[in-house]
Each structure stands twice: as C-alpha cells, then as structure tokens.
Structure 1
C-alpha cells in the first residue's frame, strides 16, 4: 500500500516512544539510575509493568502504522492519550519533569498531528 510521508514519520515516532518506554521500564526495575537531583535507583514493579506494556503497545502501533492499517489512527489516538495520562500520574506521584519531558512533548505533537484532516484522510477516517 502507498504510505504517505507523514504516516512514516508517525511510525518512527512510535518506535522512539517504544524505546523511551523501555528505558523507563528499565529505570523502574532498578537497572538504570534516575538522573534527577539524586542519582538513585528505584524499584517499582507496577510502573515497570505499565511501561513495559506501553513499550510493547508502541511497537505494535508502529507496525500498524507501517502497514497503514485503518484502525491504527484510532488506536494511536487512544494510546497517546493514555501515555499522557501515565506521564501525568508519574509527575503527580513524585517524578520530575526531567524524567518525562521528551515523552510528553512527542505525545503531544503526535496527538496534534493525527487530528489534522490530511492524516485522517490517509487512514480513511472521516
């Protein structure tokens, strides 16, 4: 199928977010230190499980986007909002903006971009 350039960019951004969520998962498993004010290692299995699940989902979304699947647009919108909510929960429960800033910025840009009429037409949504 003919894939527009914008959809290819979205697929690469989904791969980037999968990588960032995998890094966050490793951080919450205690393998990588948090580089905020204190260089500490934190173990939180619940956050590690959620970020691992998000890394898997972003990989799946990237595959759907690469194939220009019609359902990828809606799933991308839902998972982007969910990822923004999870970043907000991390921020409220004691995380720092430094830990989630790239994720929030990329997710916000994706959410704005997929709402444009040209992108919706590429996926065949009305």
Structure 2
C-alpha cells in the first residue's frame, strides 16, 4: 500500500490509482475506522434533514434534533446488540453523536447563508 519516492521517503498514493485494495489509500482510517467515518457522515446527513423538516432555527429545537437522532442511533445499536451476527458499539454511538452535531451545525450555517442570499 505504501509507495516510496526515489529518496526512500514514503508518499501517499492518490485515490483511484490502480494498486492493492482497489487503489485507495485508506491510511486516514487508521486512527478512526472507516465505519466510524461512515456513521458520522450518515448521521450528519440525517440530522441535517431532520432539522430541515422541523424548519425551526432556535437552539432549543436544534438540540432536540440532535437528541432525537442520537436516541435513534442508540436504539439501532441496542437492536444490533441483540442480533447474534451483529455487535453493538459505544464508539458507533459516539460517531453518530458527532455526526448529528456536525449536521445540525451545517444546517444552521446553510440557513444563515440562505437567509442572506436573495433570489434573482
């Protein structure tokens, strides 16, 4: 997976270049697994959409969105823990919570930008 330049230094192979493991360099997932990144991205999208569905901008309603999405993630983890072929993970729930916070922050930013832009 690692490639070296002429000086013997490591260099990162760009995404999509042919090679082992489909040509994708996945070293960024060593600190936090790829599944945690996927959890965070998925729950960011979910919390953004739930916040948009509620349509309110106040911190109280956005806090409720985060709580609702995290409770949903916790329920899924509990169900997974009961299934013999799946496992529950507190780290997955933490990734869900981080994603929910990022999604609500993105929604808040989107609303702020959308409020300043006037349609032509």
TM-score between the two structures when normalised by the length of structure 2: 0.32
Rg larger in structure:
2
